[in-house]
Amino acid sequence: MVPEKDGFEGVEWRIRVADGSSEVPVTDTSLARKVWLRTKDLFSCLGLKVWMFLKKAWDIGANDPRKVIHCFKVGLALTLVSLFYFMRPLYDGVGGNAMWALMTVVLVFEPNVGATLYKCLNRIFATFFAGFLAFGVHWIASRSGDRFEPYIVGASVFLFASMATFFRFIPSVKSLFDYGAMVFILTFSFVAVSGYRVDKLFDFAHQRISTIIIGTSLCILVIILVCPIWCGQELHGLTVRNMDKLADSLSGCVTHYFTNINGEDDKRLQAYKCVLSSKASEDSMANFARWEPSHGRFNFRHPWKQYLKIGASMRSCAYCIEALNSCINKENKAAESIKKHLSASCLEVSSSSSSAIRELSESLKKMKLPTVHMFIGEMNRAVEELKNDLKSLSQLLDPSTTGENKEYETPFLEATGSVLFMEIIPVVTLASILIEIAVRTEALVGSVEDLAKLANFATIDDKFKKCDMKDKIVPDEEKPDGTLEALQRV
């Protein structure tokens, strides 16, 4: 007899078979069913994942159809180059010209005009320069005899590759010639090494450069002619959008706090976070926009760098809105009477400064000189009012009651009640952050005005201009001059 062993399950199964054969098909079906169910689960899970992925991909395409267009543009450029080489009698197999043109298209084609031009020009000039240098090195090497040739070539590759790599670390070089340095290393080492046994170096160089020029011209044609995306325009649009978001968040937060209306959707209140995170894309866009020719309303030497300054000013506002939000998002326990007391002036400051920002974005959009002085004047008046309201706050305080936990009813409008000092603090903090935001809004206005001057934005006619100038001369006491400092001078 076979002894029953716990560890040996195969035996147990055989014993069961002996007990009743009816169990066998059941076991079999259940096993098959299990496998079937497992497989079905696996496939449905996989199908779901693929479906989710496709849905996400579809959403990306639907949200920004220009991405889809870019994909077709890449396909178009590559197909054109391929067909060009299919049709040409010059075609000479693998490693011939077709490869360089294809490679140029793949490596150089970027979603926007600026980046593509940057890469094209870098590629052409770096190839020229590296080619000439490599030819010189090859000439010297070939005169020095067979024995020294590999050493000279090897040393020169080491030296120039190291140097070019180092240049890529220097910020001013990197921003203009990063890709060029890479192409330089590639071309130099390639020509220097291949030159070793190829005599027709000039022919080869000529072919390589002509194919690169064909590739880059095709890229430039496709990128500019088929639904072009201009980096400068994008940067301009991003700045305008970010300004709108800043204004939305600012007015939204303060309104939400004082009126307790939840109508503002959370997405709009959090919009300022886009401003906080857009530094990297602004930097790269400003860098590429320099390479773009005059397009739309932008000249070749449009002051793109100034957009970075505007971006920095916007971020400094956004930091304050972040601090404001942290005041607001706490469970709201400030005394209602105090909130009521300050609400009018706080709302006025936030709405006038957000109007100023919206006006800035509007004028930037239309590329007109900003006429925000009215709003700035309003904002400064509101700031003064807020300061006065803050001053009068202390009358609400009853020193005898502070420190104790007291129940109270304060019909503030009659100004008879008194509130705890601690209940003032959140609103006071909010108010002083708001005043800081007003100061930073003025800085933002300054940076946009600088841009308007640098870029010669369309001026309004003289009559309007004079009105504007008068508006500019705001009486001294209306200027907000540094949040806390100004608050204390009263």
Site for a second copy in 396-415 (CB under 8 A): 397, 399, 402-403, 405
Residue 189 sits in the site that holds a second copy (CB under 8 A): yes
Residue 223 sits in the site that holds a second copy (CB under 8 A): no
Q: Mark 464-483 with x for binding to a second copy (rule: CB under 8 A) and - for no binding.
A: ------------------xx
Which parts of 193-222 interact with a second copy (CB under 8 A)? Answer: 193-194, 196-198, 204
Dump the DSSP string for 458-477. Answer: BPPPHHHHHHHHHHH---GG
Q: Which of 71, 226, 415, 458 binds a second copy (CB under 8 A)?
A: 71
**For residues 212 and 455, which CB has a smaller minimum distance to a second copy in the complex?**
212
Residue 421 sits in the site that holds a second copy (CB under 8 A): yes
Which parts of 34-63 interact with a second copy (CB under 8 A)? Answer: 53, 56-57, 60-61
Structure tokens at 489: 């001078």
Evaluate whether 248 touches 265 at the Cβ level (below 8 Å): no
Number of residues that bind a second copy (CB under 8 A): 103
Residue 277 sits in the site that holds a second copy (CB under 8 A): yes
Q: Which of 175, 176, 240, 322 binds a second copy (CB under 8 A)?
A: 322
Q: Tell me the window of 39-47, 121-129, 322-330, 339-347 that interacts with a second copy (CB under 8 A).
A: 322-330
Burial class, 404, CB count within 10 angstroms (exposed 0-12 / middle 13-18 / buried 19+): exposed
Q: Which of 113, 130, 137, 192 binds a second copy (CB under 8 A)?
A: 192
Q: Which of 35, 62, 99, 221 binds a second copy (CB under 8 A)?
A: 99
**For residues 325 and 363, which CB has a smaller minimum distance to a second copy in the complex?**
325
* Chain centre distance of CA 347: 31
Which parts of 334-373 interact with a second copy (CB under 8 A)? Answer: 334
Residue 416 sits in the site that holds a second copy (CB under 8 A): no
Helices (H), 260-335: 266-269, 272-276, 279-289, 304-329
Structure tokens at 295: 């397009």
Residue 226 sits in the site that holds a second copy (CB under 8 A): no
**What SS3 class is residue 290?**
coil
Alpha-carbon distance of 91 to 364, in angstroms, equals 52
Considering only CA atoms, which of 137, 237, 115, 155 is closest in space to residue 191?
137
Q: Mark 132-161 with x for binding to a second copy (rule: CB under 8 A) and - for no binding.
A: ------------------x--xxx-xxx-x
Residue 395, number of CB atoms within 10 A of its CB: 9
Looking at beta carbons, which pairs linking 453-459 to residues 24 or more positions away fall under 8 Å? 454/303, 454/306, 455/299, 455/302, 455/303, 455/306, 455/367, 457/363, 457/367, 457/368, 457/369, 458/366, 458/367, 458/368, 458/369, 459/369
Residue 131, number of CB atoms within 10 A of its CB: 22
Residue 89 sits in the site that holds a second copy (CB under 8 A): no
Q: Which residues contact 137 (CB under 8 A, 6 or more apart)?
A: 152, 153, 156, 192
Q: Which of 68, 90, 226, 469 binds a second copy (CB under 8 A)?
A: 68
Q: Tell me the window of 101-109, 232-240, 357-365, 368-376 that interacts with a second copy (CB under 8 A).
A: 101-109
Q: How far is the CB of 451 from a second copy (least distance, A)?
A: 22
Q: Which of 3, 10, 89, 93 binds a second copy (CB under 8 A)?
A: 93
**For residues 131 and 370, which CB has a smaller minimum distance to a second copy in the complex?**
131
Q: Which of 25, 47, 75, 136 binds a second copy (CB under 8 A)?
A: 75
